[in-house]
Structure 1
Amino acid sequence: MEQDTVEIAQDAQEIAQDAQEIALTLWDQAQVFLDSLMRPWNAYQIGIAIGTFLLAHLIARYVGPKLHQWLRTREGWPKWRMRLGVLLHRRIRLIIYVLMIWPVVWTMREYTWPSRTYLLGLAASLATAWLVIALLTRLIANGFLRSIVRYGGWTWATLIILNLTEEAQGILDSAALHIGETRLSLWLILQGIVIITSLFVLARFLSRTSTARIKSNQDISPSMQVLAVKFLQVLLYGAAFFIGLRAVGFDLTGLAVLSGAIGVGLGFGLQKVVSNLVSGVIILMDKSIKPGDVISLGETFGWINSLGARYVSVVTRDGREYLIPNEDLITGQVVNWSHSNDFVRLDIFFGTSYGCDPHNVRKLAIEAAKGVDRVLSFKAPVCHIVGFGDSSVDYILRFWISDPTGGLTNIRGNVYLALWDIFQANNISIPFPQREVRLLDDDLNPAEVAEGETIADPVETKTT
């Protein structure tokens, strides 16, 4: 413990000494630079740079509103072109300054000594670098990441143009700590952040491009497309992370031991999460369900919108979206209405009176079903007698559809309505229970009541 304290104190002392030496060097360079500004030609260059900037500012105040109004009239433009126009409008002052300062630099280099345009060249180079970085960082969608990359790029470009990279690197590298045999400095951390971020951006670009290509391939089933996309994302981001660590000289041996210990802890604490992840992989591999399938799970009936790593999104007919854990789809009983094909058979039950010819009833029922949209004609509907009820002959009508995503209740309702219309047109009666009500006298002798009847007070009811 005492040895570690001594080492930390020594590291802090070395950092302080290195920082002091670098600071003194920078102060000497700053004094030389400030002394050089007192020369007449350097003062002229600063005045020209400031005057050019003020002129660019005035021009931007005049041109900016006109460009904005012109962009508002470009309603038919593609989205990317409109975004480019907005970006140029926001940077119009810097664009005008860059376009004005370089001709001044080139003209002065042509008619005077190169040393008398040194500061103007620095100003033009800095303005150009800042403009290019500002335009390129707009390609980053995340606002927080875009700001970090932009300001970091501006800082690094400024150091390069001013030839201060070695001094800045020395300051960052001097701020270091020794953890065992590993030396961890601010320069190493900054390198790691930049490299890993760049690799992650590259991995994201490759992932999006590959995902678009995989989903456009009609020869790959939807479930295999999802599996391939997930596997590719894990591979690319994992490779970016480990390659970034190796690029900055990080020892991955300790990371392997640490990740093993973390894996054991997560295995006990996140059993459900891991179970859902494994279940999601199984679902994708065995192709039991896929995006677009119509499923029933308990009281939930709808079609699969997307397959996630932890859950499946199911959208019902009433617009509700259920997020069902993958484990429930593996362990529970799931009805997949479109697993092997999209054909679904529906059954409806009805009854007619005993006075109606059952042969005619069956013929009319099949004819009614065939006349309903969505009912398949090449899979002809069938009608069968399933029993003789107390007051009706009971039938079952079976028909097929090929679009369960269009709903089941509505097609059943349309078939029932078609049966009603055709039965009304052909005098086919649909029986229903009837109730007979008889008024009885209060002094009626119970012996006078016919057998099978009951006495109610004051009203007697009987079903016939």
Structure 2
Amino acid sequence: MNQDLIPSSVSKLYDDMVAAFSSQFENFAELIVTPGWRQYQIIIILCLWGAAFVLKLLTQGRWDTWARSRSGWPKWRLRVLVQLMQRLTLVYFVVLSWALYLVMQQITWPSRSYIIGVIATLAAAWLAIALVARLVRNRTLRRIFKWAMWVYATLVALNLTDDVAGFLDGVAISIGDLHISALGILKAVLLIGILLTLARVGTRAAERGLMSNDDITPSMQVLLAKGIQVLIYGGVFLVAIRTLGFDLTGIALLSGAIGVGIGFGLQKVVSNLISGIIILMDRSIKPGDVISLGDTFGWINALGARYVSVVTRDGREYLIPNEDLITNQVVNWSHSDKFVRLDLEFGTSYSDDPHKVRSTAVNSVKTVSRVLSGGSHEPVCHITGFGDSSVDYVLRFWISDPTKGLTNIRGNVYLALWDAFHAEGISIPFPQREVRLLPDAGSQQIAED
């Protein structure tokens, strides 16, 4: 390292830290090389690891059988169990090493179990870090968290935290009243990571609690969940700013000026965010509703901050911006209630009795599943006009499950009409044209001659 580029105080801190590391490693190497209990502890540690491996081979089958019988456990407990099963050797080693360390502390001198205590502490820390790291879903962040915590646990076990902390605190820059050190940045990153993980777990727990509450409407559930997320993550952001040492009063003025510029550039994004809040507040659309927007017909799968997820019958998921739902005409098939009326138009021959046609159509549609009958939802059939080649009718019926599709129920009703009309001898006419070939005038004159 170039001493000319480093202040003397930082250089001295670096030299002290290197000296502390060298001293600790020399002591550790001396413990290993010097004959006696120090070497015996290394042998004991290796034997403990071998015993842990043998125990894993002997008991893994039983543990697997027992774990499969825990299917009724909550998901988080099953995930922890899977992680422990994957690290069964380390689990046995932690138990054996700590048990032996505590026993040796009682029956021998503490120096005869120092290395065993250090290794037991490191093993327990590594096991705990591996389990806690599963809460971080991002792979890159999970690896960073693992390595950072493992390095910290190693420094704690070797009593080197004060020396490293003193060196990192000396590596700093000062801008006015703002003092930022490498130690402060590391603490801030660690704190922010922990807070973000806790925020994610907390928001998910709150969202599950809201979704399981039947007294709250679906739209209010989504609105409350989004509000909780904004509050929690906003608090994490403020804590992060304060941890780094920034003054919030100075940032407020700067953020106001930046906000004006961002507002023009993110006009559509802000419009979608405000539209999403309006949708949640007026409860015009909620998860599970069946809507039609242009050529898109499906049911609401989720309400997002920027868009609404609509799933169609063919399995496609459309992400419709919230602004389109506010400004365009939307048909909500299940806004006030779940009942939907459908109309089918057909025609029959003029030779068929219209009274018979109407009763046959009503009776046939009642045989189709999903079609409601009785009370105000009784199917009806009316004559709508006398066409060129048929008497025109409209058949009206009700369904209560539009989420199962409209095209399929229309097809089933048409098929029922077809079968019923054929059974009753009712004909369905179609346009027919008659073409007459008139003799040509020239050929007629030749025939007369």
Q: Secondary structure at the match of 2:36?
A: helix
Quote the Cα distance in structure 2 between the aligned partners of 1:206 and 1:128. Answer: 27
Quote the Cα distance in structure 1 between the aligned partners of 2:99 and 2:335. Answer: 69
Match of 1:412 among 386, 394, 410: 410
8 Å Cα contact 2:210-2:221 kept in structure 1: yes
Change (3 A) 1:61 1:160: closer
Structure 1: which 5+ residue stretches go unaligned?
A: 1-8, 447-464
1:452 match: none
Quote the Cα distance in structure 1 between the aligned partners of 2:300 and 2:14. Answer: 65
8 Å Cα contact 2:347-2:392 kept in structure 1: yes
2:423 match: 425
- 1:52 is aligned to 2:44: yes
Query: CA deviation digits over 1:266-313, x for unaligned, max 9?
Result: 211111111111111111111111111111111111111111111111
- 1:347 is aligned to 2:343: yes
What is the correspondence of 1:234-273 to structure 2 with a 5 Å cutoff?
Answer: 234-247=230-243, 249-273=245-269
Change (3 A) 1:261 1:69: farther
- 1:227 is aligned to 2:223: yes
- How far apart are residue 440 of structure 1 and its match? 5.2
Query: CA deviation digits over 1:343-393, x for unaligned, max 9?
Result: 111111112222222222222222222222211113111222211112222
Q: Secondary structure at the match of 2:124?
A: helix
What is the correspondence of 1:80-229 to structure 2 with a 5 Å cutoff?
Answer: 83-229=79-225
Quote the Cα distance in structure 2 between the aligned partners of 1:369 and 1:260. Answer: 64
Quote the Cα distance in structure 1 between the aligned partners of 2:407 and 2:279. Answer: 29
Query: What TM-score do the two structures reach when normalised by structure 2?
Result: 0.87
Q: Secondary structure at the match of 1:278?
A: helix
Quote the Cα distance in structure 1 between the aligned partners of 2:352 and 2:13. Answer: 105
Query: CA deviation digits over 1:121-150, x for unaligned, max 9?
Result: 333333333333333333443333332233
What is the correspondence of 1:293-442 to structure 2 with a 5 Å cutoff?
Answer: 293-378=289-374, 379-438=377-436, 441=439
Change (3 A) 1:12 1:64: same
Change (3 A) 1:363 1:233: same
- 1:19 is aligned to 2:10: no
Quote the Cα distance in structure 2 between the aligned partners of 1:411 and 1:280. Answer: 33
8 Å Cα contact 2:300-2:311 kept in structure 1: yes
Q: RMSD across aligned C-alpha pairs, in angstroms? A: 3.0
Query: CA deviation digits over 1:154-197, x for unaligned, max 9?
Result: 22233333332221211110000001211100111111112222
8 Å Cα contact 1:366-1:382 kept in structure 2: yes
Larger of the two Rg values belongs to structure: 1
8 Å Cα contact 1:196-1:245 kept in structure 2: no
- How far apart are residue 27 of structure 1 and its match? 6.1
Quote the Cα distance in structure 1 between the aligned partners of 2:311 and 2:22. Answer: 70
Q: Secondary structure at the match of 2:434?
A: strand
Deviates more, 1:275-284 or 1:103-112: 103-112
Change (3 A) 1:192 1:439: same
Q: Which amino acid aligns with 1:26?
A: A
Quote the Cα distance in structure 2 between the aligned partners of 1:216 and 1:259. Answer: 38
Quote the Cα distance in structure 1 between the aligned partners of 2:212 and 2:142. Answer: 30
- Moved runs in structure 1, 4+ residues, more than 6 A? none
Change (3 A) 1:84 1:428: same
Change (3 A) 1:306 1:107: closer
Q: Secondary structure at the match of 1:97?
A: helix
Deviates more, 1:359-368 or 1:214-223: 359-368
Report the count of equivalent residues. 437
Q: Secondary structure at the match of 1:255?
A: helix
Q: Which amino acid aligns with 1:412?
A: R
- How far apart are residue 214 of structure 1 and its match? 0.3
- How far apart are residue 69 of structure 1 and its match? 5.3
8 Å Cα contact 1:45-1:120 kept in structure 2: no
Query: CA deviation digits over 1:310-338, x for unaligned, max 9?
Result: 11111111222111111111111111111
8 Å Cα contact 2:52-2:93 kept in structure 1: no
8 Å Cα contact 2:219-2:286 kept in structure 1: yes
Query: What TM-score do the two structures reach when normalised by structure 1?
Result: 0.84
Change (3 A) 1:346 1:39: closer
Change (3 A) 1:343 1:444: farther
Q: Which amino acid aligns with 1:19?
A: L
Percent of paired sites with the same residue:
55
Q: Which amino acid aligns with 1:396?
A: V
- How far apart are residue 229 of structure 1 and its match? 0.8
Change (3 A) 1:212 1:335: same
Structure 2: which 5+ residue stretches go unaligned?
A: none
